[in-house]
Amino acid sequence: MVQRTCIVVIISLILSSFSYLGAAYLNLTLPGQHPFPEQVVHDVHRKVNASIARREMLQTSLRDQSSSTYSSCLTGNPIDDCWKCDPDWPNNRQRLADCAIGFGQYAVGGKGGKYYIVTDSSDDDAVNPKPGTLRYAVIQTEPLWIVFPQNMLIKLSQELIFNSYKTLDGRGANVHIVGGGCITLQYISNVIIHNIHIHHCHVSGNANVRSSPSHYGYRTESDGDGISIFGAKDIWIDHCSLSHCKDGLIDAVMGSTGITISNNLFSHHNEVMLLGHSDDYTPDSGMQVTIAFNHFGENLVQRMPRCRRGYIHVVNNDFTRWEMYAIGGSGNPTINSQGNRYTAPIDRNAKEVTKRVETGEGEWRSWNWRSEGDIMVNGAYFVASGEGVEVKYEKAYSVEPKSAVLIDMLTLHAGPLGVGSRDNNVGMWSTGPNGGTSGLGSGPDYTDEMSGNGSRSVPVSTSSAFILFFSLLLSLSTLLFWYAASDTHYFTIKYNL
65/32 Cα distance (integer angstroms): 46
Q: Is 12 helix (H, G, I), strand (E, B) or coil?
A: helix
pTM for this structure? 0.78
375/405 Cα distance (integer angstroms): 11
pLDDT at site 216: 96
Catalytic residue among 303, 309, 341, 456: 303
Nearest to residue 147, comparing CAs of 429, 449, 489?
429
What is the Cβ-side half-sphere exposure of residue 52, based on CA atoms within 13 angstroms?
15
| 303 among known catalytic residues | yes
Q: Which ranges of 366-497 would DSSP assign to H, the alpha helix?
A: 401-411, 448-451
Which string of DSSP letters, residue by residue, matches 260-292? EEES-EEESEEE-EEE-S-TT-GGGGG-EEEEE
284/372 Cα distance (integer angstroms): 25
Question: CA-CA distances (angstroms) from residue 358 to 40, 242, 247?
Answer: 30, 28, 21
In CATH, the architecture of 102-411 is: 3 Solenoid (2.160)
At 337, which amino acid appears?
S
- What letter would DSSP give residue 301? E
> H-helix or E-strand containing 356?
strand 354-356
pLDDT at site 377: 94
70/55 Cα distance (integer angstroms): 10
By residue count, the chain amounts to 497
pLDDT at site 494: 32
pLDDT in tens, the chain (497 residues): 434 433 333 333 333 333 333 333 333 445 667 888 888 888 888 888 777 777 666 555 445 454 454 555 777 899 999 998 888 888 999 999 999 999 999 999 999 999 999 999 999 999 999 999 999 999 999 999 999 999 999 999 999 999 999 999 999 999 999 999 899 999 999 999 999 999 999 999 999 999 999 999 999 999 899 999 999 999 999 999 999 999 899 999 988 999 999 999 999 999 999 999 888 888 888 899 999 999 999 999 999 999 998 999 999 999 998 999 999 999 999 999 999 999 999 999 999 999 998 889 989 999 999 999 999 999 999 999 997 554 444 443 444 556 777 898 899 899 998 754 344 334 443 333 333 333 444 444 444 344 444 333 333 333 333 333 333 333 333 333 333 333 433 223 233 33
- What letter would DSSP give residue 103? G
66/20 Cα distance (integer angstroms): 46
Q: In the chain, what are the domain boundaries?
A: 102-411
pLDDT at site 405: 76
Residues 320/295, Cβ–Cβ less than 8 Å: yes
| Beta pairing, strands 189-194 & 215-219 | unpaired
Q: Would you report the helix, strand and coil content of the chain in percent, each value rounded to 5?
A: 20, 30, 50
pLDDT at site 72: 59
286/307 Cα distance (integer angstroms): 12
123/139 Cα distance (integer angstroms): 13
pLDDT at site 30: 53
- Rounded to a whole number, what is the distance in angstroms from the first to the last CA of the chain? 52
